[in-house]
Structure 1
């Protein structure tokens, strides 16, 4: 179910559920979002710092819950990802989120928040840019795509780029289902406590860096051995960062992905500009989607109405 779209004059809140942002980049993010006619507010603890997290768990959770509970806050933007959202995602005030549904934008470690909301039946997650904003990372088209995903109730069409690494994994066919997923490592670590149902879903996965190809292998093994991969209707592959240039005794990322995905016998569409790369697409999660592999498109129902 879509949530209300944003309109000029709406209040929105920046929060830091994971790692700390920089003041300069958040100021630029506020400038961009304010340019859409929205009123930007900062969570009380946005710039707190405790080790690699933006303050202790309690204050990060308090900021996020305060934004979810306030009916006047019409969207929530994560400043950045990194580390820490996994420590608070299981404790979100999902009852308040159900009562006042709104877009919650972010990716990477924020995948834990998105999964927790979807598990609780809360609409509105958007896999999209952080407001720890740099113009070198997000260009005008990327910025406009984020704005449209929040302010215009139109389907989001993400086109496969044949030049992207994961395009070589594309198969054939068509698939429909609810789009679920995000950062692969986060999805796999949420098994058993934080995942929504994957039955009949299209799984969106992307990743960036880690401990080598074995990390990707372990993630898919976790999903396969629990029977979750076998429930899917399709798979959408985004960018995989440094994994795309990593080899292990001749084994490549493509080899690892084929090992787990080919036996599923479901449509797979790669080459999607979703994830940690430059100018990532903004993609609603928890809404109906269609994979059209021959056309090279992932079409997702809007997050907003």
Structure 2
């Protein structure tokens, strides 16, 4: 695997900065995006939209070339200071290897998104060392934002202080927590998408704190994804595991899913902290990728540098 230097940082945002929504994967709900844009405008940001942000082309927001062009245009434009994915869904993995990585190196700016957008985060980390933000302006169906997460995302984008995340005992993955501490760059995201990037966009995870979250978990798929990552050698040398939300198609299978994940992760012999508020579940929070993090399983906390 290629060694990656994760010291590349993006400039923090300021009031008056221009940001752009693009759709690298599936077509979003327009009203939901507009509600989030209004919140960004309340922060003093000038919000724009990619030409194909609301286009429908099969499962995707435009063709591969259209989605790639929107994303690259935002990355190349020196006036755009942050790029927000309208949603995940499916499709960013189809274009992740074709990004204009030279433009990213020349003018580092944050990409904010999660779920399928994990493919873009991993490719950018691998090729440039720049970490984005795993997360979004999470909100409910009425457009109301999750206030704690809004504060955290504002701090990530505008501030430079470390952020501490507390594990939640009510999350099923909390039962995966072991003991011990570990430090390293925080790398990861959605489990299924991470497995999709293995061998071509996944960065070197040696020495990293691996972030894992999953949505609509099914035993067979979960087992296959973890097996792929392990047998491909991608989990060798990780320093620790930060486990977020694993949302389930069948909540009654939560215990079996957790036992299955435990079987894979405990073989690595590193500290595991479960129950973290990252993913597709209730009151999810945003977190910066590529930043140095300290995982303390005994204290139930993950501290990520600003």
**Pair in the same fold by TM > 0.5:** yes
Q: What is the match of residue 100 of structure 1?
A: 107
Q: Which residue of 1 aligns with 2:183?
A: 176
Do the aligned residues in 1 keep the contact of 2:32 with 2:143 (CA within 8 Å)? no
> Would you say 1:254 and 2:258 are equivalent positions?
yes
Normalised TM-score (structure 1):
0.94
C-alpha contact 1:14 1:42 (8 A) present in aligned 2: yes
Given that 2:138 and 2:146 are in contact with CA atoms closer than 8 Å, whether structure 1 keeps it comes out as no
Q: State which of 41, 66, 69 in structure 2 corresponds to 1:62.
A: 69
Given candidates 276, 283, 299, the residue that maps to 1:279 is 283
1:292 lines up with 2:296 in the alignment: yes
Matched with 1:109 is: 116
Match of 1:232 among 233, 238, 245: 238
**1:273–1:244: structure 2 CA closer, same or farther, 3 Å change rule?**
farther
1:122 Cα deviation (Å)?
A: 3.8
1:41-98 CA-to-partner distances (Å, cap 9, x unmatched) read: 1111101110110010101000000011111110000000001101111100011011
Deviation at 1:130, TM superposition (A): 5.2
What CA deviation, in whole Å up to 9, does each residue of 1:186-240 have, x standing for no partner?
A: 0011111110111111100001115x21111011101110122222100000001
Q: Which residue is 1:301 aligned to?
A: 305
Aligned 8 A contact 1:78 1:131 in 2: no
The equivalent of 1:47 in structure 2 is 54
Match of 1:201 in 2: 208
Secondary structure (helix, strand or coil) at the match of 2:168 reads coil
Aligned equivalent of 2:220: 214
* Counterpart Cα distance in 2 of 1:285 and 1:73: 20
- Rounded Cα–Cα distance in structure 2 between residues aligned with 1:90 and 1:206: 23
Residue 77 of structure 1: aligned partner = 84
Aligned residues: 299
Distance 1:134 1:7 in 2: 29
Call closer, same or farther: CA 1:16–1:131 in 2, change over 3 Å: farther
Seen in structure 2, the aligned counterparts of structure 1 residues 106 and 254 have a Cα distance that, compared at 3 Å, is same
Q: CA contact under 8 A between 1:177 and 1:289: conserved in structure 2?
A: yes
Q: Does 1:3 align with 2:10?
A: yes
State the alpha-carbon separation in 1 of the partners of residues 245 and 95 from structure 2. Answer: 26
Residue 241 (str. 1) matches residue 238 (str. 2)? no
CA distance in 1, matches of 2:141, 2:130: 28
Distance, in Å, in 2 between the alignment partners of 1:23 and 1:131 is 15
Matching of residue 267 in structure 1 with residue 263 in structure 2: no
The structure 1 segments of at least 4 consecutive aligned residues displaced by more than 6 Å after TM superposition are: none
**d(CA) in 2 for partners of 1:97, 1:132:** 29
1:146 paired residue number: 153
Q: Structure 1 residues 137, 231: CA separation in 2 closer, same or farther (over 3 Å shift)?
A: farther
Preserved CA contact (<8 Å) 2:135 2:286: yes
